[in-house]
Amino acid sequence: MKIASIRTHIVGEVRPFLFVVVETDDGIQGIGEAGITWREQAVAGYIEALTPSLIGEDPRRIEHLWQVMLRSGFFPGGRIGAAAISAIDIALWDIKARSLGVPVYELLGGLVRDRVACYPHVADNAVDVMVEDCRRLVADGWQFVRFNLPSQGDQLEPRVSVRQGVELVTAVREAIGPDVGIIIDAHTRLDPVDAVSLCRQLEPLNPFFVEDPVRCENAAAIGRLRQHTSVPIAMGEQYATKWEFREPIEQDWIDYCRVDLCIAGGLTEARKIAGWCETHYIAIAPHNPLGPVSTAACLHLDLATSNFAVQECARIPGEVLAELFPKQVPFKDGYMYAPKEPGLGITFDESAVSKYAVMEGDCPRLHRADGSFTNW
């Protein structure tokens, strides 16, 4: 079995998505997905650059090809490169499992759980509307709710956002009771001093975790925050490859690892990161704001990983790109279930690509009151 072709498709619905199809000389196709939203053209270019090193290779030599993709250009791939590698890597796991007639999770060690708990996104809105949305989600079976640290429209003033965030979590906790997990995503919007203020004020409200309370460029900022709060901290969605996870894991600065399979290096790298986390009793909570392939890959990892906590599920399977992916992973009442089909357990209709036009634009932006740029 040899790799015969690699094709990329950039499509849009709600947000842009980048998918890659790897096809073998005997007609087996694997599907992958890349992260780094709004930079899909750059990732597609990196995939194109990797293709000559992969054509004619045995797709079942996944670890070998991962090393080739990362290191063969001499300069190791950064985030754009890692996203490209991630997409191809996921497709290779899909091919290998399909060729053996088993679901991907069987190649990862088999099932360690029957179902995977998920959390949805609660859209930004007025507090009373968001509280009602959380009540409805809990009534529908979800055991977790997640929402963003508030901004003031397209402006974010940290002290105001911290106050509004605490008020929002307080209102939601009062509405849904003590047992439902609350996740608030600061989305790297705060500097350490403001993150400390937020986390300290949230301690009595018992959030499941605070996500990305500080920026990721300097990992020591997480350590600084860790010294000042007992609130569980979750980070990692922006990290590429195991090396960027090293310090937060080794220093025990995070409580939950937000590995993104479509940025960190695919299933191959995510398994290594999860194993590393296990030695520090850190559970994974994979980042997944993407499409059906990312969702499926995360599900297979979660099903076969003991130190798993909860799965982000921004888009319920079957409710996005439904014609492009006519079969998606099983979902019911806030949980995803193990697919029985070989590979990732999803189908990709390449003929439907033209129905999903490429989205123009860029990542949303926020600014401070003085006009200066701040993270979205």
Summarize pLDDT for 283-296 with one digit per residue, the tens: 999 999 999 999 99
- Categorize the per-residue pLDDT at 173 as very low, low, confident or very high, splitting at 50, 70 and 90: very high
Provide the pLDDT for residue 86: 98
Annotated catalytic residues are: 187, 287
Q: Annotate 244-309 with DSSP letters as a single string.
A: HHHHHHHTT--SEE---TTTTTHHHHHHHHHHHHHTTTPEE-----S-HHHHHHHHHHHHT-SSB-
Are 129 and 167 a contacting pair, CB within 8 Å? no
Over pLDDT 90: what percentage of the chain? 97
Residues 103/343, Cβ–Cβ less than 8 Å: yes
User: What is the predicted pLDDT for the residue at 146?
Assistant: 98
What confidence tens digit (pLDDT) does each residue in 89-107 have?
Answer: 999 999 999 999 999 999 9
* Mean pLDDT of all residues in 176-199: 97
77, pLDDT greater than 90: no
Confidence at residue 76, expressed as pLDDT on a 0 to 100 scale? 86
pLDDT at 329: 98
User: Angle formed by the axes of helices 158-176 and 127-139, to 10°?
Assistant: 40
Percent of the chain with pLDDT over 70: 100
Residue 360 pLDDT > 90: no
- pLDDT for position 366: 96
Mean pLDDT of 136-155: 97
Q: What is the pLDDT of residues 311-355, one digit of tens each?
A: 999 999 999 999 999 999 999 999 999 999 999 999 999 999 999
Burial state string for 165-174 with b = 16 or more CB within 10 A and e = fewer than 16: bbebbeebbe
- What confidence score (pLDDT) does residue 361 get? 86
pLDDT tens digits, residue range 239-264?
999 999 999 999 999 999 999 999 99
Closest by CA position to 35, among listed 336, 250, 255, 295: 295
**Spatial strand order in the sheet of 29-34:** 3-13, 15-24, 29-34
Domains in the chain, ordered, with CATH?
3-102 (3.30.390.10), 105-342 (3.20.20.120)
How confident is residue 4, by pLDDT bands cut at 50, 70 and 90?
very high
